Amino acid sequence: MPITTGFIQRLTYLARIVCVEVGPDPNTTELFFTEFATGDAEQELGMKKSLARLLFEALANGFPIRISHGVSSAEINSAAIGGFDISPIGHAVRNDAYTISGSGIPDDVEVVFENEFTITTVTPDLVRPHWVMLAELPGSVSTGRNAVRLQAPSFSSDEVPIDVVSGPPIRCRVLYPGAPKPDPYTIAVIANPMLELEFRNRFSSDPIMTDRDGFFARVPYVLNNLLNVTEDLLRQDDIDSLMRFVAVFDGVLLDSNDANSLVRLNPPNLIGPRKASFSSFLGRYSEKADVAFAVSGSSTHTRASANLTTDDTTAASTTYTYDSDGFEHPHFYDEPGVATLSLFGVTTGLTPLHEFGHAASAWPTGAVLDLYVDGGPTSGALIVNEKWRANASDSIPSVFGTYDGTSYNSDQARDSLSYPSNWRSYHPELIDPNRPNLMDNYWLAPPGTSQQCRLDKLTYDWFSDRLRAKLFR
């Protein structure tokens, strides 16, 4: 059955017949039609009505159409739109974030917007093989109909029609939709509307709410930290293609109340997550997150922090053993893992990924703790990445522990940092013994290499399994 593909140049309703003229320009077309015939079955008439709607949408939005018809007939048997090799996500709004999904996208890709007047080429702020992000769709892109494509020296995508508008910006933008199911593993980055002041139950507007551009410049930094530094926990085997990413900047949340506050200012300069507020906040936008970051623009309190996930231990889970005991990776959560980030945080380190390491772990069902403090054992909670000797003078055991039947050695030297003589804690063997653990003081890595720090071997394997248990729930 022949198929004709092209743009609809004219759509005509005339005497029970809907006609389309398809071709590259108005003077070079072929005519096709569908007839609402008196003998047609009711269901066929209904679908012809939907077919006419499809033809109209293709015309109105500039999509090429594929029409299937008889060998010597102009009557439309079926019509289809879509099938491009890239997929713009959400509305294209100037000066707002913009994302496009695809496959096999190379690191050196550029995004090209083109219409009859202008061509604007933009280097994305985040590139993964399956999506790219622009922190801001440039104001130089003309409003109205454009064609967008991805291009690189060794890569070229289809051109997809989009309608660019000047506003309003999207309050909750889906950056990448994730696995096609209602509850994909989701990471949210939120501009915090209100700060809870050090004196409890007093709120004031977070300065970030006057800096939308700053927030959306920070989002790709956060995502690059999670997905594109040396530690590949979240991108191994492209598992991030199953994760959903959303960003929220809601400039109309002006009420100074508890529900609009995700960050509490704690002395001396800590921005603490108000964990109980995150789920209901995201619920306003019909979103849920396994891990959520709140970004604050406080100029006085800038130190990031995290609060661990509270797992749902009553729902489905994946079992494992840690040393000789049985544990579970719960597939769902009661409360998400949450973290705060400062708009002014230094971007050469690993703060987002480090805080993710805390937030995505769980208390008490599997906690990943800071390794730059000695701390101490906690009864009733599984600490994954740290153990303690009875006395600081005791030697560090050669074997740290066993995870799911695999034995893991201890880090005898705490890489180049060494354990202070009064510490009782010790850690699992590092993946990269030349740099501090991602959960340790990564700022002490050789200059300029903090973003090369990785996890220890045991925590990496434990976290990989935990993420997979949730990704495939």
Tokens of 184: 């994909």
Helix residue ranges per DSSP H, 228-330: 275-283
Question: Smallest distance, Å, CB 202 to other proteins?
Answer: 32
Cα 75 to Cα 4, 17, 185, 311, 394, distances in angstroms = 12, 10, 46, 58, 86
CB of 236 to other proteins, least distance (A): 18
Q: Dihedral of the CA atoms 204, 208, 211, 216 (nearest 10)?
A: -150
Minimum Å gap between C-beta 366 and other proteins is 28
Q: Which of the stretches 37-45, 322-330, 400-408, 411-419 binds other proteins when contact is defined by CB under 8 A? A: 37-45
Q: Which helix (H) or strand (E) holds 197?
A: none
How many whole angstroms separate alpha carbon 10 and alpha carbon 258?
A: 55
Nearer Cβ to other proteins (42/325): 42
Asked if omega into 220 is within 30° of 0 (cis), the reply is: no
Please identify which residue in 83, 153, 268, 326 interacts with other proteins, judged by CB under 8 A.
83
Interface residue with other proteins among 74, 152, 165, 174 (CB under 8 A) is 174
Query: How many Cβ atoms from other residues are within 10 Å of residue 437's Cβ?
Result: 28
Q: Is 4 in the site for other proteins (CB under 8 A)?
A: no
Q: Which of 82, 139, 144, 377 binds other proteins (CB under 8 A)?
A: 82
From the CB of 80, what's the least distance to other proteins, in Å? 4
Strands (E), 222-260: 244-248
Q: Does the footprint of other proteins cover residue 159 (CB under 8 A)?
A: no
Among 27, 38, 43, 391, indicate the residue that binds other proteins (CB under 8 A).
43
Does 153 sit near other proteins (CB under 8 A)?
A: no
- Asked if 49 interacts with other proteins (CB under 8 A), we say yes
ω into 168 cis (within 30 of 0)? yes
Contact indicator for 217, 277 with CB cutoff of 8 Å = no
By CB under 8 A, is residue 166 in contact with other proteins?
Answer: no
State the nearest-atom distance from the C-beta of 54 to other proteins, in Å.
5
By rule CB under 8 A, what string of x and - marks binding of each residue 219-258 to other proteins? ----------------------x-----------------
What are the structure tokens assigned to 446, written together?
């050789």
Q: Is 234:243 a contact under the CB 8 Å cutoff?
A: yes
Positive or negative CA dihedral for 427, 433, 438, 443?
positive
Q: Which residues bind other proteins (CB under 8 A)?
A: 34, 40-44, 46-51, 53-54, 57-58, 60-61, 63, 77-91, 101-103, 130-131, 162, 170, 172-174, 176-182, 184, 241, 285-286
